[in-house]
Amino acid sequence: MSNDQTHLPFIKEPKSKRIKPEKKDSGFISSVWTFEGNGGSQLYRYYGTLPRQLIERIFTLYAKNANTRVFDPFLGLGTTLDVAADFGIEGQGFDVNPLACLASETRLYTSRDLPFLQAADALERDFKKRGMNAANNISEILMSDKYAYARKWFREENLYSILGLLICISGIKDLSTQRLFFVIASQLVREVANVDTRCTHHLVTKRKDFIPAICLFEQKLATAINTLRNKPADSNRISVMQGSAIDLLPQDKADLIIIHPPYLGVIHYHLIHRLATDLLDVVKSAHAPISLSKYDFSYARIKEGDVSTDSSKPYNKFIQNIAASCSKATAANGRCVVIIGDQRNKGHLRHPFTDFIAAFEQHGFLLEEIFVWLLENNGGMHILRRGHFIDHNYILVLHKVAEAC
């Protein structure tokens, strides 16, 4: 018998029946997802920010028509809504932390064409004229017990320098400019305070020299402007609100809910941004600037709603509550996508993702897909184990099946 393949009977399927291999670079053939870089932003270092490509992929798979409504109740720096605006999708975002809301609004609605550099020049002149005095004038508010925590992390001149800057920003008339400048100044708070800016808590202290906040502000402005959208999002279709996910969600129905809650005790959001939220609270009490008016900066309120905690017990209760809220808020046949990672506890894995699956299944969802998102080059989040970087982040796609509604 000849080995010549040309003499074999024709066994190939006709072309039309063959399954087309997907393009190698599409990323959809694998259930393991990786993305270039992380979602860190030059606008405001929020921590835990998702890469835009991750949300883009979720939308491409699950938000197929323009009528889709999306909710992100753990908004952070607003990645979901930023992508929703590009996809022409209607979206609502909530976060318990006012700084997340303020920074998200800035990311979404600020036109990069505004004359920011002229406004910065005027700000500098105003700061030189009255910055430190203006800060001195409100020292009575600053001295109240409520702000004792914030005060202790600053060298006095640095505290008055950053506070003076915030007060001068309060005097800016244009809402977008004022909001952007507050966000930039909030980022500077940790740079002038006696904390290590890379640390996710305020545990590391380093006594810093006098740092004039206005000089840092000008450097930061140029990079921040580059992060702004070419076309601001439409505030009638994309909205941001401060509040707890558990209380806000049931009011409406969405086709797609994306939740990316804090991972059990990894980053304490209420604490990491506290120095800035406390100082914004001081300025709000003294000068009532327009861009801060709708937000509540009181630490007690922020902490109360924040589910980033190190005790697993309330976190499990939170998982149950959020599954119940998402169930009420998801339209029939809609989906809830949960993005959640593992943590280590004394060398062993904790895997809250299994609790999320169980809780959502109890509330009318079926698990449709699990994707694993591997973080590469994401300084800080990796855990080095036996020579390997191991980092599990799960993307759980939970389908609210029609008959369970």
Ligand X SMILES: C[S@@+](CC[C@H](N)C(=O)[O-])C[C@H]1O[C@@H](n2cnc3c(N)ncnc32)[C@H](O)[C@@H]1O
Q: Are 229 and 253 in contact (CB under 8 A)?
A: no
Please pick, from the candidates 228, 307, 340, 357, the single residue that binds ligand X as defined by CB under 6 A. Answer: 307
96 in contact with ligand X (CB under 6 A) = yes
The enclosing H or E element of 93 equals strand 90-95
Please report how close the Cβ of residue 322 comes to ligand X at its closest, in angstroms.
8
Distance CA 163, CA 343 (A): 37
Q: Which of 69, 190, 220, 260 binds ligand X (CB under 6 A)?
A: 260
> What is the footprint of ligand X within residues 226-255 (CB under 6 A)?
244-246
Helix pair angle (79-87, 52-62), 10° resolution: 50
Query: DSSP letter at 221?
Result: H
Residues 21-40 that bind ligand X (CB under 6 A): 39
**Quick check: 265 binds ligand X (CB under 6 A)?**
no
Stretch that binds ligand X, among 44-52, 120-128, 145-153, 344-352 (CB under 6 A): 44-52
SS3 103: helix
Shortest reach from residue 52's CB to ligand X, in Å: 9
Check residue 91 for interaction with ligand X (CB under 6 A).
no
**Minimum distance, C-beta of residue 275 to ligand X, in the bound complex (Å):** 15
202 touches ligand X (CB under 6 A)? no
Is there a contact between 219 and 120 (Cβ–Cβ < 8 Å)? no
Gyration radius from the chain CA atoms: 24
Of 33, 59, 62, 74, the residue at the interface with ligand X (CB under 6 A) is: 74
Q: Which of 38, 44, 73, 274 binds ligand X (CB under 6 A)?
A: 73
One residue of 48, 93, 131, 364 binding ligand X per CB under 6 A: 48
Of 388, 390, 397, 401, nearest in space to 353 by CA: 397
In whole angstroms, the minimum distance from the beta carbon of 44 to ligand X comes to 10
For 8-47, the three-class secondary structure string (H helix, E strand, C coil) is CCCCCCCHHHCCCCCCHHHCCCCCEEECCCCCCCCCCCCC
The token pair at 395 is 């993307």
Taking the complex as a whole, the smallest distance from the CB of residue 246 to ligand X amounts, in Å, to 6
* 373 lines the binding site for ligand X (CB under 6 A): no
- Please state the closest distance from residue 36 (CB atom) to ligand X, in A: 16
Site for ligand X in 99-128 (CB under 6 A): 100
Q: Which is nearer to ligand X, 38 or 68 (CB)?
A: 38
The three state secondary structure string of 104-147 is HHHHHHCCCCCCHHHHHHHHHHHHHHHHHHHHHHCHHHHCCHHH
Of these, 44, 46, 127, 181, which contacts ligand X (CB under 6 A)? 46
**Please, which residue, 100 or 192, has the CB nearer to ligand X?**
100
Q: Near ligand X by CB under 6 A, which window of 48-56, 109-117, 194-202, 352-360?
A: 48-56
Q: Return the structure tokens found at 90.
A: 């209607």
Residue of the chain from 49, 176, 177, 330 that contacts ligand X (CB under 6 A): 49
94 near ligand X, rule: CB under 6 A: yes
Give the type of residue at 36. E
Using the contact rule CB under 6 A, the part of the chain among 72-80, 170-178, 328-336, 394-402 near ligand X is 72-80
CA–CA separation, 58 vs 352, rounded Å?
A: 21
Can you tell me the distance from the alpha carbon of 81 to that of 68, in angstroms, rounded to the nearest whole number? Answer: 13
How many residues at the interface with ligand X, by CB under 6 A? 26
Query: Alpha-carbon torsion 250, 326, 332, 88, what sign?
Result: positive
Give the angle subtended at the CA of 338 by the CAs of 334 and 344, to the nearest 5°: 165
Note whether 77 binds ligand X by CB under 6 A.
yes
For ligand X, the closer of residues 260 and 400 by Cβ is 260
Task: Please enumerate in sequence order all residues whose Cβ is within 8 A of that of 302, keeping only pairs 6 or more positions apart, or say none.
Answer: 96, 97, 98, 270, 274, 277, 296
Residues that bind ligand X (CB under 6 A): 39, 46, 48-50, 73-74, 76-77, 79, 94-97, 100, 244-246, 260-262, 269, 305-308
